[in-house]
Amino acid sequence: PIHWTVNYTFEESKTGRIRDKLEPAIDTTLPLSFQNKISIANNCGKDDVCVPDLKVTAVTDREKFLLGTQDNTMQINVTVQNGGEDSYETKLYFDVPEGFEYSGIEAIGDKTTTTAPSCSPTSDKPDENGKWTFACELGNPLPANTVLSNVVKITANEKNPPIKPIEI
């Protein structure tokens, strides 16, 4: 829960009156603050602690990627399954290898009810190996017993193609 406290003070008017009425009598035995808590509704069982069971699988659309071909985009089918309780602030992280650029993500499934997650880089520049790390917002919450399927697309950079073997 979120705990909050309010502190307050009373100010007396100089005349002892407020708009032609007498000021109320103040009980000086009461504290000048009060506390409360707000519980956030969740689907986490009686213990109120969420224990998700997340499983991620990623499979590329091809075994080998040849540079210089007409189709220079690789697609990675990513499936995230939550077999436990609701998962809050759920994110998918993935690396884009040197020589490739992130081209987008698409949701697989019914286009009227499924939307692609929002993805963005986790830093302003690549790491020392030239890799970019991206984070995708999967759900807040990602409900229990949910399966998300997405296709991450990366494209070989024509000006600076990968020269070393890559690992997805």
Query: pLDDT tens digits, residue range 73-105?
Result: 889 999 999 999 999 999 999 999 888 899 999
pLDDT band, residue 148 (cuts 50/70/90): very high
The Cα-based distances of 126 to 3, 69, 103, 156 in angstroms read 40, 26, 16, 16
Tens-digit pLDDT profile for residues 6-60 = 888 777 667 666 677 777 777 778 788 888 988 777 778 788 788 999 999 999 9
d(CA 10, CA 114): 53
Nearest to 101 by CA among 48, 159, 35, 15: 159
Residue 163 has a pLDDT of 75
* DSSP letter (8 states) at residue 111: T
